[in-house]
Protein backbone atom coordinates (compact mmCIF):
# COMPACT_ATOMS: atom_id res chain seq x y z
CA UNK A 1 0.00 0.00 0.00
CA UNK A 2 2.75 2.45 0.88
CA UNK A 3 4.55 1.68 -2.35
CA UNK A 4 1.40 2.43 -4.34
CA UNK A 5 0.94 5.70 -2.43
CA UNK A 6 4.57 6.63 -3.11
CA UNK A 7 4.13 5.97 -6.85
CA UNK A 8 0.90 8.00 -7.07
CA UNK A 9 2.35 11.17 -5.51
CA UNK A 10 3.82 13.63 -8.02
CA UNK A 11 7.26 15.19 -8.03
CA UNK A 12 10.73 14.27 -6.86
CA UNK A 13 11.35 12.40 -3.60
CA UNK A 14 11.60 15.52 -1.42
CA UNK A 15 8.21 16.78 -2.64
CA UNK A 16 6.71 13.38 -1.92
CA UNK A 17 8.11 13.43 1.60
CA UNK A 18 6.62 16.89 2.22
CA UNK A 19 3.26 15.77 0.83
CA UNK A 20 3.25 12.66 3.02
CA UNK A 21 4.05 14.75 6.10
CA UNK A 22 1.22 17.16 5.27
CA UNK A 23 -1.20 14.28 4.70
CA UNK A 24 -0.20 12.56 7.93
CA UNK A 25 -0.63 15.82 9.85
CA UNK A 26 -4.08 16.33 8.32
CA UNK A 27 -5.15 12.80 9.30
CA UNK A 28 -3.96 13.24 12.89
CA UNK A 29 -5.68 16.64 13.10
CA UNK A 30 -8.95 15.15 11.81
CA UNK A 31 -8.76 12.29 14.28
CA UNK A 32 -8.21 14.56 17.28
CA UNK A 33 -10.76 17.15 16.13
CA UNK A 34 -13.71 15.01 15.02
CA UNK A 35 -13.24 11.26 15.41
CA UNK A 36 -11.95 10.93 18.98
CA UNK A 37 -14.52 13.33 20.51
CA UNK A 38 -17.33 11.50 18.69
CA UNK A 39 -16.10 8.11 19.92
CA UNK A 40 -15.83 9.50 23.46
CA UNK A 41 -19.44 10.69 23.32
CA UNK A 42 -20.62 7.32 22.02
CA UNK A 43 -18.71 5.17 24.51
CA UNK A 44 -19.06 7.52 27.49
CA UNK A 45 -16.51 5.87 29.83
CA UNK A 46 -17.78 7.77 32.91
CA UNK A 47 -21.07 5.83 33.12
CA UNK A 48 -19.83 2.37 34.08
CA UNK A 49 -22.23 -0.47 34.83
CA UNK A 50 -19.89 -2.62 36.94
CA UNK A 51 -20.68 -2.60 40.68
CA UNK A 52 -17.81 -2.40 43.12
Mean pLDDT, each 10-residue run in order, the chain (52 residues) = 87 95 96 93 73 64
Q: How far apart are CA 24 and CA 10, in angstroms?
A: 16
CA atoms of 32 and 25, how far apart (whole Å): 11
Contact 18, 29 (CB under 8 A): no
Give the start-end residues of each E strand in the chain. Answer: none
Predicted TM-score (pTM) of the model is 0.72
Give the C-alpha distances (Å, rounded to integers) separating 4 from 7, 9, 29, 50. Answer: 5, 9, 24, 47
Amino acid sequence: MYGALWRVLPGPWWVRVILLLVLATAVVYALFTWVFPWVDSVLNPINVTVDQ
